[in-house]
Amino acid sequence: MEYRMLGRTELKVSQLCMGTMQFGWTADEAISFQILSRSYEAGINFIDTADIYSRWAPGNPGGISEIIIGNWMKNNHIPRDKVILATKVRGQMGDGPNDEGLSRAHIIQAIEASLKRLNTDYIDLYQTHWYDENVPIEETLSTLDALVQQGKVRYLGCSNHPAWRLTEALWTSRYHNLARYDCLQPHYNLVHRAEFERELAEVCSAYGLAVIPYSPLAGGFLTGKYRSGAQTDSARSGSVRRYFSEQNFKLLDEMEAIGRTRGNASISQIALAWLLSNELISSPIIGPRTLSQLEDNLGAAGLCLSPDEKERLDLLTCWK
């Protein structure tokens, strides 16, 4: 599998990143182990998680995904320097006043807990899950900088940040000589383009940030399992309905047609290939909950769309 640089850093990540929100939610530990092992064998060296995964699931206190990853690495004797671990901080992990947010108190508490769950002494990419309007950005960034200086974190990233907040963070880091965000994890896919493309794309390009989009398959819509008039039961079917439109169903037909000319590539493989054709994108974050879904996702590695194919998909999903 081809490897790519992570922003301006020397970290080399695989074309696809293994997202793990489903671990401990829609995939139990045994299936999660199988998915991690198969993806590692296929060349995926980049694993993304978060401390809150998946606290919303019944009986899940949060941190389960991190525990599963740590146990998998330990049980399979995976060399630590062969895997790039990314996790996040911000979400509520308890009922106390310092159990959420981006304050100094919470970040210091959260990093120690994540290190313990992941069975490691450093995080390659530590990300703020979304911004905290109640904490001065200087406090957040100075705390993250201290973690970098201590060797507990190698690089910093953020997710779900609007362009103005991301720019403010970059300028604050420059002004105070602090470690800066080198990576953005936005919500970005063929049917959800404006949020990233309107302003964030230009910021990432100007400042040399890596981009690792989550939900590249739009919660399953871009797999083709949701078609006009069809009934599909899924853990995410409620949120996917926002993509149900005549135009988006035409998009699925076009993606299917392109796939047929590419050796019967699946709709999901075409969706991932569309992201990989963008030079700003380092690694789309996939989130398979079964081995069959993983095998399908792996088929996107190395799949390149022609300029004409990309233009056809761009025109069908243009938001401007």
Catalytic residue among 40, 53, 155, 181: 53
Using CA atoms in the order 259, 263, 268, 273, what is the torsion angle rounded to 10 degrees?
-80
> Is the bond preceding 54 in cis, omega lying within 30 degrees of 0?
yes
Question: Strand, coil or helix: what is 148?
Answer: helix
Nearest to 74 by CA among 19, 125, 18, 119: 119
- Compute the Cα dihedral for 145, 151, 152, 155 and give only its sign: positive
The conformation of residue 38, written as its DSSP 8-state character, comes to: H
Residue 204 amino acid letter: C
Rounded CA-CA distance 155/148 in Å is 7
Residue 228 amino acid letter: S
Q: Is 53 a catalytic residue?
A: yes
Active site residues: 53
